[in-house]
Chains A and B, each alone.
Chain A
Amino acid sequence: MSASEPIRVEPDSGEPTPAAQDQPQAVIRLEGVSKQFGGHQVFRDLTLEFRRGETTVVLGASGVGKSVMLKLILGLMKPDAGRIFIDGAEITTLSERRLMPVRMRFGMLFQGSALFDFLTVYENVAFAVREHKNWPEARIREVVRQKLALVDMEGTENLLPEELSGGMRKRVGLARAIAIDPEVILYDEPTTGLDPVTADTINSLLLRCQRELKTTSIVVTHDMASAYKVGDRLVMLHEGGVIADGPPEAIRRHSDVRVQRFIHGDASLAAAPPQGDIP
């Protein structure tokens, strides 16, 4: 099977969903997207969509293009070919200025948190609010307080990013991502580099944000514990395309040996997955 022909697992119907089918609940749609860096083809004719209110976890080995996908969705990078739609409107050809209102609908937690190192925690979280809302400082202060409380980081307002641990930075990054109540939150490796307990705390925060803010979420990770905990749907990328797409249980029982190798973290796995009931 070619990497661009995904095995789509839909246990409810038992039928594969055509990738090109137009679904009204699709908030983001990548259509025939290709992207290349130097001689390395990251995506080859990739078609994928993300549905409203769903938490989709994008899995894949390092360098497979997971973070690139998030940057393509935000318009931080342009695809070499193909089109990207947000709520049915194409953003691929939009200028940087016209992309700004589109980006305001998104929040993104970066892999290394990407907190502005010259600003305090308070100023980091308040940044997007100040940028886009003409609110009095008292109202901004209240928003920052609420968001920091949501991620259990009250009392850190005056600290600089360099004074925070990795887990604290992720939490502040999350507070910053949700500061303007985005419709879609993109998480780039939210648990990478964290100890298992802190990683689980971040997963719980992610679920709490999902529950309380009712957002659409896309989580890029190679942490399977995190994927199973937060994902409504798992998508696995491999060599430029999707090789598996379905709910966590279906992915766990997936027949493709590349999927089984990845989810079990066992490169020596030969062919059959360790569990039966293969679709």
Chain B
Amino acid sequence: MGIARPIANVGRFAAEQVGDLGRFTVFSASAFRWIFTDFTRWRLLRPQLYEVGVRSLPVIIFTGAFVGMVLALQSYPQFELLGRASWLGAVVNLSVVKELGPVLAGVMIAGRVGGALAAGLGTMKVTEQIDALRAMGAEPIRHLVVPRFLACLLLIPFLTVYCDFVGIVGGYVVAWGYGVDTHEYWMHSASAIENWDIFAGVFKSVFFGAAIALISCYKGFQSRQGAEGVGRAATEAFVVSFMAILILDLFIVMFLQGLYDALWARTSVFLS
């Protein structure tokens, strides 16, 4: 008797999670169906491009710059001890391009855009604007989700490139401040970073953008009544998007490393 209750609670929680995953899958499938059967209209997409792209730029630049600078600051003493300070650029820039740029850009966008998407759609739901759309014979997923999804999908890779660029500049500014030779700094950076690395970072960001948009829109559509419901939807959108970014990152890195190894033999630039 005593153990039945906790087991029932676990079972109920599991059933809720599975149900939620099923609803999310149907929601995502519906968004994809609209993209491929009836492409969104420019007048719906344009404001979302502005919201996701232009308005996210300051926070992305800020994040990228500080990540690059901090990484260079923390790495420099070790490289100097080894007498290879000019290799600082290789480590900082490779870290920024392959991992920190895409992931931190994704996290910042999950916070800024994802939260706003969930709160905006949640407010539309509780003020019956989504019902009004349906009442007028319009499909809410096509009108509200598809433009937001496409804006995230198209612009997060560009924002990631901005984040990478600013991070690289930030790292160089610190290295320059320490007196690292500029020519050698960039020469080692260039030898360490391949086009594949840049591609890998940008490739990941496409998936991060899709996950952020779908999760945030879904949470907004599932928002409960009242200010608390909308607030909770925004919070959950960020938390779940953040977790999704980390999980996707792991699997995409595994996939890309396997693909790289299959295509080219792996060698370390530091051992060559």
User: Is there an interface contact between B136 and A71, defined as CB atoms closer than 8 Å?
Assistant: no
User: Is there an interface contact between B131 and A110, defined as CB atoms closer than 8 Å?
Assistant: yes
Cβ–Cβ < 8 Å partners of A71 in chain B: 131
User: Is there an interface contact between A101 and B137, defined as CB atoms closer than 8 Å?
Assistant: yes
User: Is there an interface contact between A112 and B137, defined as CB atoms closer than 8 Å?
Assistant: no
Cβ–Cβ < 8 Å partners of B137 in chain A: 100-101, 103-104, 128, 131-132
User: Is there an interface contact between B135 and A112, defined as CB atoms closer than 8 Å?
Assistant: no
Distance, CA A100 to CA B123, complexed state (A): 24
A135 CB to nearest B CB, Å? 15
Indicate whether A228 reaches chain B with its CB closer than 8 angstroms.
no
Q: What does the 1/0 interface line of B125-152 toward A look like (CB < 8 Å)?
A: 0011101111111110000000000000
User: Is there an interface contact between B47 and A76, defined as CB atoms closer than 8 Å?
Assistant: no
Distance, CA A55 to CA B99, complexed state (A): 64
Indicate whether A96 reaches chain B with its CB closer than 8 angstroms.
yes
Residue of B nearest to A116 (CB): B129
Residues 86 to 126 of chain A near chain B (Cβ within 8 Å):
96-97, 100-101, 103-104, 106, 108, 110-112, 114-118
User: Is there an interface contact between B128 and A114, defined as CB atoms closer than 8 Å?
Assistant: yes
Cβ–Cβ < 8 Å partners of B139 in chain A: 96-97, 100
Distance, CA A111 to CA B135, complexed state (A): 13
**Which DSSP category, helix, strand, loop or mixed, fits chain B's interface?**
helix
Distance, CA A114 to CA B136, complexed state (A): 12
**CB-contact partner of B134 in A103, A118, A132, under 8 A:** A103
Distance, CA A103 to CA B123, complexed state (A): 23
Indicate whether A74 reaches chain B with its CB closer than 8 angstroms.
yes
Distance, CA A111 to CA B129, complexed state (A): 11
Indicate whether A85 reaches chain B with its CB closer than 8 angstroms.
no
User: Is there an interface contact between A74 and B129, defined as CB atoms closer than 8 Å?
Assistant: no
User: Is there an interface contact between B128 and A112, defined as CB atoms closer than 8 Å?
Assistant: yes
Distance, CA A224 to CA B129, complexed state (A): 27
Cβ–Cβ < 8 Å partners of B135 in chain A: 74, 76, 103, 106, 108, 110
Indicate whether A262 reaches chain B with its CB closer than 8 angstroms.
no
User: Is there an interface contact between A116 and B132, defined as CB atoms closer than 8 Å?
Assistant: yes
Distance, CA A108 to CA B128, complexed state (A): 11
A174 CB to nearest B CB, Å? 13
Interface-central residue, B127, B128, B135, B139, by most chain A CB under 10 Å: B135
Interface-central residue, A97, A106, A115, A116, by most chain B CB under 10 Å: A116
Distance, CA A79 to CA B47, complexed state (A): 37
Distance, CA A118 to CA B48, complexed state (A): 11
Cβ–Cβ < 8 Å partners of A117 in chain B: 123-124, 127, 129
Distance, CA A131 to CA B137, complexed state (A): 8
Residue of B nearest to A124 (CB): B132
**CB-contact partner of A128 in B124, B127, B136, under 8 A:** B136
Which residues does A use to contact B, with CB under 8 Å? Answer: 71, 74, 76, 96-97, 100-101, 103-104, 106, 108, 110-112, 114-118, 127-128, 131-132, 176
Q: 22 interchain pairs (CB within 8 A)?
A: A76-B134, A76-B135, A100-B137, A101-B137, A103-B134, A103-B136, A104-B136, A104-B137, A106-B135, A110-B132, A111-B128, A112-B127, A114-B127, A115-B129, A115-B132, A116-B124, A116-B132, A117-B129, A118-B47, A127-B136, A128-B137, A131-B136
Given A110-B132, A116-B132, A176-B136, 10 further pairs, Cβ under 8 A = A71-B131, A76-B134, A100-B137, A101-B137, A103-B135, A108-B132, A108-B135, A110-B131, A127-B138, A128-B137
